[in-house]
Amino acid sequence: MALGGHLLTFLIFFPGVSALALLWLRGEDEVWIRRFTFVASTVEFLASLLLLRAVPIGQSHYSLEEFSRWISAPTINYHLGVDGISMFLVILTTFLTPICVLASWKGVHHRIKEFHVMLLLLEVGVVGVFLSLDLFLFFLFWEVMLIPMAFLIGIWGHDRRIYAAIKFVLYTMTGSIFMLVGIIWLYNHTGTFDLPTIQAMLHSGQLVLSERTETLLFLAFFVAFAIKVPLFPLHTWLPDAHVEAPTAGSIILAGVLLKMGTYGMIRFCLPLFPDASHRAAPWVAALAIIGIIYGALVALVQPNLKKLVAYSSVSHLGFVVLGIFAFHEISMQGAVYQMLAHGISTGALFLLVGMLYDRRHTFEISEYGGLCAPMPRFAAFFLFVALSSMGLPMLNGFVGEFLILLGTYQHHWNWAAWAATGVILSACYLLWSYQRVFYGDITHEKNRELQDISPRENWSLVVMSIVILWMGIGSPFFTRRFEAPCKTLLQEMNPNVMHEAGIRPPLAVTGGVRTTISTERLASR
Amino acid sequence: MESLNQEMLRNVFHVLPELVWCVFGVFLMLLQPFLKNRQALTFLALLGSAIGTLITFFTFMGPGFSGLIQFDTFALFFHWLIGLVAFLVILSSDSYLQRENLDAAEFYALILFATAGMGVLSSAQELLTAFIGLEMSSISSYILAGYRRDSIKASESAVKYFLLGSFATAFFLYGIALVYGVAGSTNLAALANVDPNGTLLRMGLTLILVGLGFKVAMAPFQIWTPDVYEGAPTPVTALFSAGPKAATFALLLRIFSTIHAATDYWFWAFWILAVLTMFVGNLGAIVQSNVKRMLAYSSIAHAGYTLVAFAAITFVRPDPNLVSAAYAAVLFYLASYALVSVGAFTIVSEIGGQGERYLTYDDYAGLGTRQPFAAAGLTLFLLSFLGLPITAGFFGKLYIFTAAIKSNLVWLAVFMAINSVIGAYYYFRLIVVMYMRDHKGPVAESAANTLSPTAAMVVTVAALITLYLGLAPNHILGIVLSQPLMLSAR
């Protein structure tokens, strides 16, 4: 196997090692620092592509597992593993990091070495979160990634950066400290932090949670994730963090960090507390729908382009949460797909907005207008990305939203109906803002001499656009790979569904550890 | 006669570290008129603290002086801790004394005497012996607090500490008297045979708790802390926040592990004290603009976290496994806090400049670019205070959380979680100031200079220990748990 079976360890720590190596470069070698980081993050991306081969299609249990003891009291293991869901999120992370390096080529001028060190450290934390199968290890990476992100916002951000950085840290800390209490509670009742082991204990009836306990534990985890997503009404940190962050920070924040929340819901909340999740679903769905509509409405009236994109994230992530808590296998797949699609399109939107800022140093929509004339190619890319974000068929945003709405409709038609208004609103705010920025007369003289995109910007946009198109057309390439984990997850959550599925042949295809456990449980009934 | 001498000699081997510290202290005092070289004095003091710490390997284990002293693994652990703290504090004082132009010999001698007192405190098995230890460390501390004679703040600090400290000592003594009335002995072993619910015993122990609570700065006996910490020379503040606190907590652990059976009374006492102390410390720290005062309040907050584990201990008395886990939590927490705190105060001391003028948050603005090493070190220590992973403070907090939740004290854990978030605000604010804000106006001379070599050494050692405990807490925990820390009296 690749790298002697330690591919996951390599993926987590290679950026960290690169960051250490970067410290040896002199601070004045600016170009070399950028080049080195770019090469390192590209190597990381190529290495992460090996996951595509390593994770078999249709397999629902973890691949490439690594396990070793780390600390004996309390028992903490270094347990990594990857499945179809986490694989793509890792690839998304490693894909966006080199884009970030390119995006900050012109935008970041001071403390360049520290900037790139922070970017790479952030990658360590995020990849670690997606690959950890030990609750403790997960928490550790979850916290570790906080500091580089706060620094990215706080040092290289815009005017109100310090306020935004502190707000970001406090929000996240509040959520995660209660998650820690929940994790320790689980540890005290199971004697392990190991996620698959705890799941097996739940299935075999070794660990029985009372209704109240399960609800409280669910909340302890869910609130931490909901803050990260961010779910209405916990979203207020997001616009500040996004607007104040440098372009690279926004790309990573929107592209990957928000997904840590939804990923946490899929990986931890649902399998560990299935009944509580079912009980909470109507409430969560209501918040998600409010988020979808509220986010879109606020985006509609934003005078600030970056804030507009930030609020569109609130709206889009609402779809993801809705898809997860509709408990339908199609909507679940749609949710995962939307996570990836949003990562690419919103990442690209922030990239484009960042390019505008590099030229004009403002995010105000009123400062622009008529940009089509001086920057035709830029305008074309912007339109393409905006269309993908609003969910035009053939582009990536459509697949995710469609699957989510389709799956949700099967169980709750009214949820789907409300959420669908978000699709319409997203077309409104994106097209309207596009119109105001790119069409009409040039009202500011400065805008006449704006440079169209440079070759460097061109390449990163071309790559993003290809991915957007490919995800729109070739969606089975992705869904095939996370179909099985999504299905298994839902089957395990619902005893009745499991009962039906146990007889059906598809189970034989999915196979794996989890199904074995569920059939055992079936036999014991 | 022969056997008596042998007995005497054997007893001496139980207090070897204290003896070495005292001998070196006296030696330094005697040398003072002849030896004017500060560095030589520093070297001697370092040597003394190091030998005193290392000699624990030759110290006899078990009870000595007919049961007055109990040198067990528990005491060994605290001797190492306070020995290491003394070593680091002396090392960091070197440049401070030079800068402030203060006499070195007496300063070091007092630190060594205080350390010896703390040593006695952590191995005392009898209340009056503990009292002697407490007084040894306190009286040295009073003098050290006012060591900068020409500073008004330092004098205020010393007077305040002395008056309130004596008051607290009186409480402690009165408590001893009451306990003696019940148990007929001041030996802790005798407490095991007394009805734990007796009113007189409760009164006595409550008074003892008040006396010791003053020393560890638990609310509502914490009023002195910010003023004393602010006025005292910063290396001394480092010592206060680390040494006496750890040693006094050691004594508290010893006393409250000898009372039989779980009693609701003590559980609720510690529960309330813990919550109160955490909130007072953290809320107080939020509004500070002076870094030294902020760290003083944070030291109160950390005493509160430690008390959470005490509540867990008194709650789960019957179950030895849970108790030993909670003990381990206390010991680990005290060790991690002490070392991190010494590191943090060392940096504060260096940045303060002559006369400790540069202590506000504003003076720390832009430190990240001016003094990358100091800023990075302080950031690490603050993150450890905050309890972020891969630092010692994280595991300290984790163990206390675990102890609390294992005892089903979920509400206490939740209060601690809330406080951790409050803590995150003011610790992170300092990090923000150092890295994200530029300094306004001319930068003061001393706030721009790099750390002195000795201070840099202290910071490096403390930082390495912080990371080591954060990555591999196993080893130290193994030592803590190697011998079940059921104290011998039980």
Query: Quick one: DSSP state of residue A445?
Result: G
Burial class (CB in 10 A: 0-12, 13-18, 19+), B132: middle
Report the residue of chain A nearest B477, measured CA to CA: A73
Contact B361, B433 (CB under 8 A): yes
Q: Which residues of B touch A184 (CB under 8 A)?
A: 398, 401-402, 405, 413
* Token pair 């854990």: residue: B413
Does the distance separating the beta carbons of B401 and A184 come in below 8 Å? yes
Q: Which residue in the set A143, A173, A181 is minimally distant from B405, CB to CB?
A: A181
Which amino acid is located at B182 in the chain? Answer: V
Q: Where are the domains positioned within chain A? A: 280-489, 494-525
Helix (H) or strand (E) holding B310: helix B291-315
One digit per residue, the tens of pLDDT, for chain B of length 490 reads 557 778 788 888 888 899 999 999 999 999 888 888 888 889 999 999 999 999 888 888 878 888 888 888 888 889 999 999 999 999 999 888 888 888 888 899 999 999 999 999 998 888 999 999 999 999 999 999 988 888 888 888 899 999 999 989 999 999 999 988 888 888 888 877 777 778 888 888 889 999 999 988 888 888 889 999 988 999 999 999 998 999 999 999 888 877 755 567 888 888 999 999 999 999 999 998 899 999 999 999 999 999 998 888 887 666 777 777 788 888 889 999 999 999 999 999 988 887 778 888 888 888 888 888 888 999 999 999 988 888 898 888 888 988 888 888 888 888 998 898 898 889 988 988 888 887 776 666 555 567 888 899 999 999 999 999 888 887 777 776 665 444 443 3
Prior bond to B220 cis, omega within 30?
yes
A452 — contact with chain B (CB < 8 Å)? no
Residues 35-74 (A) with a CB less than 8 A from some CB of B: 71-74
Detail the DSSP E strand segments found in A105-250: none
What φ, ψ does residue B64 adopt, rounded to 5°?
Answer: -135, 170
Contact A340, A478 (CB under 8 A): yes
- B423: closest CA among B397, B387, B463, B398? B387
Q: Where are the domains positioned within chain B? A: 2-482
Task: List residues bridging with A80 in a β-sheet.
Answer: A66, A132
What is the rounded CA–CA span in Å between residue B443 and residue B351? 12
- A108: closest CA among A37, A164, A41, A169? A37
Does the distance separating the beta carbons of B436 and A155 come in below 8 Å? yes
Does the distance separating the beta carbons of A73 and B481 come in below 8 Å? yes
User: Chain B interface residues facing chain A, Cβ-Cβ under 8 Å?
Assistant: 328, 369, 383, 388-390, 398, 401-402, 405-406, 410, 413-414, 417, 420-421, 424-425, 428-429, 432, 435-437, 472-474, 477, 481
Residue-wise DSSP of A231-298: PTTS-THHHHHHHHS-HHHHHHIIIIIHHHHHHHIIIIIHHHSHHHHHHHHHHHHHHHHHHHHHHHHH
**Burial call B67-81: b when 16+ CB within 10 Å, e when fewer:** bbbbbbbbbbbbbbb
Neighbours of A280 (CB within 10 A): 18
Task: List residues bridging with A451 in a β-sheet.
Answer: none
Alpha carbon separation from B488 to A90, A429, B178, B424 (Å, rounded): 54, 73, 23, 39
A218 token code pair: 């669910």
Residue A513: per-residue pLDDT: 38
Helix (H) or strand (E) holding A39: helix A30-54
Per the confidence metrics, is the pTM higher than 0.80?
yes
Detail the DSSP E strand segments found in B197-301: none
Residues with Cβ within 8 Å of B180's Cβ and at least 6 positions away in sequence, in order, are B127, B186
One digit per residue, the tens of pLDDT, for chain A of length 525 reads 455 678 888 888 899 899 888 888 877 778 888 888 899 999 999 988 888 888 888 777 888 888 888 877 778 888 888 888 898 999 999 999 999 888 888 778 888 888 889 999 999 999 999 999 999 899 989 988 888 998 888 888 888 888 888 888 888 888 888 898 889 888 888 888 888 888 888 888 888 888 888 899 999 999 999 998 888 888 888 888 888 888 888 899 888 899 999 999 999 988 888 888 888 889 999 999 999 999 999 998 988 888 899 999 899 999 999 999 988 888 889 999 999 999 999 999 999 998 888 888 888 888 888 888 888 888 889 999 999 988 888 888 888 888 898 988 888 888 888 888 888 888 889 888 888 888 888 887 777 777 888 888 888 899 999 999 988 888 888 888 888 888 888 888 775 444 444 433 333 333 333 333 343 444 443
A184 — contact with chain B (CB < 8 Å)? yes
Residues B102, B106, B112, B117, Cα dihedral to 10°:
-110
∠B254-B257-B258 over CA atoms, to 5°? Answer: 90
The distance of B400 to chain A (nearest Cα, Å) reads 10
* Token pair 């409300």: residue: A418
The distance of A12 to chain B (nearest Cα, Å) reads 16
- Which among B278, B319, B436 is the top mutation candidate for probing chain A, defined by the most A β-carbons within 10 Å of its own β-carbon? B436
∠B17-B110-B117 over CA atoms, to 5°? Answer: 45
Does the distance separating the beta carbons of B425 and A71 come in below 8 Å? no
Neighbours of B274 (CB within 10 A): 29
